[in-house]
Amino acid sequence: MSLRHALAPTVLLSASLVLAACGSVSASTAMANWTKSSNLTSNSAQLALDARHVLIALSDVHSTAAQLHTVCAVLDLETLQANSALPTPDTQTTSLLSAAYTDLGDGANECYAAAGSALKRAKAAAFLHRAGAELSEAQARVTALGAS
């Protein structure tokens, strides 16, 4: 038996162990890494602040179309940026954040055209309130996974 044939099983075993070690990140660690790299905490806080600004503008019947366009466009841009960090390592968190970002985007888009319509203002506000609850649920999920 040649030396090469004798070492083959050892090399194969060593390579397998190295590869196994590379893929042994826990779900909690993977989520913690994603949370940090995606800036989830600061992005969520910024989205909540932007949504509050939109809700204030929507509740003021004297808000002009230009004022609504400004706050709604900012919210839409921030939402698109946060959405680009998806997916997360956890499918349930991804689903929750995706739903929140969809509702924030829908609220921003509805707001953009709501200047002369109380119905559209109410519809936009409803999207934003639902998104707030979804963001809270997503944050609770991240916390439960030990990643926040």
Output the DSSP codes for 8-39: HHHHHHHHHHHHHHHT---HHHHHHHHHHHTT
pLDDT for res 2: 53
Predicted confidence band at 25 (pLDDT cuts at 50, 70, 90)?
A: confident
Q: How far apart are CA 129 and CA 106, in angstroms?
A: 12
Q: 78-87: buried (b, 16+ CB within 10 Å) or exposed (e) per residue?
A: bbeebbebee
CA–CA separation, 43 vs 110, rounded Å?
22
Q: Which amino acid is at 67?
A: Q
pTM above 0.85, yes or no: no
Q: Is the pLDDT of residue 83 over 50?
A: yes
